[in-house]
Structure 1
Amino acid sequence: MKLYALSAVSVLVAVAATGCSPVANVDSAPDAANPDCASVMVALPDEMAGYQLRDTDSQSTAAWGNPSKAILKCGVPAPGPTTDPCAEVNGIDWILREGEDTWTATTFGREPAVEVMFDPNEVASSEVLVQLENAVSNIESTRQCLSPADTLELDSQAG
């Protein structure tokens, strides 16, 4: 009887172990220990575009999918003025940088900044940015993106 119970436990452990994703190796950001990152991390979605959140080996990082389809880092340097495209999604401003295989979206006007890298062929940018709204909104917005039209309006009012 004891042998049977031990075998059943061994099978359950083996099944549980094969269902787990390996820990994702992600380098942490310079300001990962910022307390505001903790409020972001606890509010992250368990699923991103159908991919499950998995464990990472660094503070204030997250990864979805195995292999990773989206990787998040909190505590990256806040971007300054830029000519890169900026998109406002549900009250969150994001600086978008499109690469060949990977896109990067970094919050604008929030310190610490949050960066998410993803494969646009696997995960739609609109889905990523919408799903991160609740988590990222835990960091207060202090600035907004301006478009060239906003700048021209400001200049014409000054004269």
Structure 2
Amino acid sequence: MRNRILSAGAVTLGLCLAVTGCESGPEAAPRAGDAACRAAAGKLPEKIAGLERGDADAAGVAVWGDGKIVARCGIPMPRPTPDPCTTVNGVDWVWRYRQGDDGHDLLVTYGRSPGLEVTVRSGAPSEAALVELTKAAYELPRHRKCLDREGN
């Protein structure tokens, strides 16, 4: 389940989402209190593809659709990776399809610090989450960008 772009917190989040009754909810990422995460939080949408934003107890965490989509700001910037990367409105995202036993998608900003991690449960709208959360992710300082297949 672990790969190069996942932090220990992401693994914990994935396990929590795979088990019913995660009563404490997703944990805050290590840099959730950064000013950049606070700026990004101001750009988070109230709805994603009709899923209402709910309450989250941890700093830097937002949830939609009763946990179908979970965003955590403040993760460490991922290292360079051969995993698929896409750019949406100037924000690079690494997209890990069907992670863990529950088959969720994991979207992670690439080259931004602090980073934004988005877990999308199987059946929830991953593409809509990616588009809707890009505005918030744009607030995070960019340090690197995705390379194309030729390394340019």
Shared topology, TM-score over 0.5? yes
Q: Distance in 2 between matches of 1:140 and 1:112?
A: 7
Equivalent residue number for residue 111 of structure 2: 109
**Cα RMSD (Å) of the superposition?**
1.6
Q: Deviations over 1:22-79 (max 9, x none)?
A: x97211101111111000111100001111001111000000012x110000001110
Equivalent residue number for residue 27 of structure 2: 27
Which of structures 1 and 2 has the larger relative contact order (alpha carbons within 8 angstroms, sep 6+)? Answer: 2
Residue 140 in structure 1 maps to residue 141 in structure 2: yes
One-letter code of the match for 2:42? V
Q: Is the 8 A contact 1:47 1:64 kept in 2?
A: yes
Q: Is the 8 A contact 1:24 1:54 kept in 2?
A: no
Equivalent residue number for residue 129 of structure 1: 130
Q: Tell me the number of residue pairs that the alignment of Structure 1 and Structure 2 aligns.
A: 127
| 4+ residue runs over 2 A deviation | none
Residue 99 in structure 1 maps to residue 98 in structure 2: yes
Equivalent residue number for residue 18 of structure 1: none
TM-score, structure 2 length as denominator?
0.78
Q: Is the 8 A contact 1:24 1:55 kept in 2?
A: no
In the TM superposition, what is the alpha-carbon distance from 1:142 to its structure 2 partner? Answer: 2.1
Say which SS state the counterpart of residue 99 (structure 1) adopts.
strand
TM-score, structure 1 length as denominator?
0.75
Equivalent residue number for residue 81 of structure 1: 80
Q: Deviations over 1:62-109 (max 9, x none)?
A: 00012x110000001110110111011111100111125201000011
Structure having the higher Rg: 1
Q: Which stretch of structure 1 is more off in the superposition, 56-65 or 25-34?
A: 25-34
Q: Is the 8 A contact 1:24 1:56 kept in 2?
A: no
Q: Is the 8 A contact 2:54 2:64 kept in 1?
A: yes
In the TM superposition, what is the alpha-carbon distance from 1:129 to its structure 2 partner? Answer: 1.1
Gaps of 5+ in 1: 1-22, 155-159
More helix by share: 1
Say which SS state the counterpart of residue 132 (structure 1) adopts.
helix
Q: Distance in 1 between matches of 2:148 and 2:107?
A: 17
Say which SS state the counterpart of residue 130 (structure 1) adopts.
helix
Q: Is the 8 A contact 2:98 2:122 kept in 1?
A: no
Equivalent residue number for residue 15 of structure 1: none
